[in-house]
Amino acid sequence: MPRPPQMWTQGELTADAAEAKAMLVGRRNSEQLAKRALIHKREPHYREALRELLDATGDLRYLPSTPDVLEKREVLDAARYIGLPFVSLGDIDTITGSCFEAWVGQSSDTGRRPTEDEFAAAAEYLYREIDPYRAPWIEGGRTPTDEERERFLRATIALRLNSVLQTQRRNAGSKRQEAAVRTALTQAGYGPAKTAKNIVDPVAEMPPRSFGPNARDLRSTSIDVPIRLPDDHPTGLLFIALEAKDTNTEINSRKRLIEVMSKAATWNASGLPYQIRTAAVLSGSFSVPRLEEAQSQGVMLFWEHRLSDLVGFLAV
């Protein structure tokens, strides 16, 4: 029988947490070239869209009376960053009752388009949200100096680049981790299984030795990777709800592990006792006491830097 993963000792957890943190530091250091390339590629486009917005609106002073400038997707997307904090497309949709998020994401005009009244409402909202520190001329009712205009451009572009880079970093971590997990599952002799988006009975709906190629819901709670074990697995388990958790700080690790423990309470109630368990594959910076707490709540822990443990546990 494979060693129960919930039995990692404090010393083992400490060593693995240190290794995972060292790997996180290595990834951060290697990001520099890719980050510079993204900045070099996107900065001119962001600047062009912002300058078009400033030129068409009298440096934002007349934005409420010039909503037609927002009818260019790239200009509307740039305008979201003139606020403090910056405004999401979802915020604009909520305020205007429109479809800006879907419209900006379209590559053509075949879908629904915001109305003129909705563009006008968006312009009013964005104007109210303008950051007074970056655009002090608005409250002063004056034209900005060339120096103020350039500072505004640089600061707003930096804000947008920061948002893009943070989103890319989060998405890259989860994508990397889930891809590594599915590779490990294949190595363990498991194959992808088609299931409904909402799983009611994972043991009945998934064939033995299979996993979900995409996230699925069980009891209205999303599972990153659902795994159906063979009927004769020596632990007696039949199904594992596996979460992939990548975090950059120990404080965030507590939040991530609490999420897993909360989900475990829901999933564990979805099948026969001792046949459904929750597991987590971890990478990044984790607090050892929080790891011990998760284990005490029955969450099985694996590490991205040593997925051979997961392969060994599943392959028997």
Q: What would the two tokens of residue 70 be?
A: 């927002």
CA pair distance 252, 172, nearest whole angstrom = 17
Give DSSP secondary structure letters for 252-281: HHHHHHHHHHHHHHHHHTTSSTTTEEEEEE
When divided into structural domains, the chain yields a total of 2
Give yes or no for residue 5 having a pLDDT over 90: no
Write the burial class of residue 128 (CB in 10 Å: 0-12 exposed, 13-18 middle, 19+ buried): exposed
**Calculated CA dihedral for residues 55, 56, 59, 60, nearest 10 degrees:** -150
Residues 145 and 19 in one domain: no
Q: Determine the structural domain holding residue 133 and report its residue range.
A: 32-166
Q: Which residues contact 52 (CB under 8 A, 6 or more apart)?
A: 69, 72, 75
Residues 143 and 259 in one domain: no
Give yes or no for residue 100 having a pLDDT over 70: yes
Residues 215 and 309 in one domain: yes
pLDDT of res. 1: 43
CA distances from 157 to 24, 78, 161, 175 (A): 27, 9, 6, 27
Residues 150 and 232 in one domain: no
Write the burial class of residue 149 (CB in 10 Å: 0-12 exposed, 13-18 middle, 19+ buried): middle
Paired strand residues for 199: 218
Query: In terms of residues, how long is the chain?
Result: 316
| Mean pLDDT of all residues in 154-183 | 88
Q: Which residues contact 271 (CB under 8 A, 6 or more apart)?
A: 201, 202, 203, 238, 239
Residues 25 and 59 in one domain: no
Mean of all residue pLDDT scores within the chain: 91
pLDDT more than 70, % of the chain: 97
Question: Where among 150, 166, 182 does a domain terminate?
Answer: 166
Residues 22 and 107 in one domain: no
- Per residue in 20-43, pLDDT tens? 999 999 988 888 888 888 899 999
Q: What is the CATH number of the domain that holds 185?
A: 3.40.1350
Residues 50 and 156 in one domain: yes
Alpha helices in the chain (DSSP H): 10-30, 32-56, 73-79, 89-96, 100-105, 116-128, 137-140, 146-187, 202-205, 250-268, 288-296, 308-315
Residues 82 and 14 in one domain: no
CA pair distance 158, 43, nearest whole angstrom = 9
- Give the pLDDT band (50/70/90) at residue 286: very high
Between strands 239-247 and 225-228, the pairing is antiparallel
Residues 188 and 209 in one domain: yes
Residues 151 and 184 in one domain: no
Question: Where among 107, 132, 166 does a domain terminate?
Answer: 166
Question: Where among 103, 132, 166 does a domain terminate?
Answer: 166
Residues 38 and 108 in one domain: yes
Residues 17 and 99 in one domain: no
Residue of 269, 262, 199, 276 lying closest to 233 (CA atoms): 276
pLDDT of res. 168: 81
Phi and psi at residue 75, to the nearest 5°? -75, -45
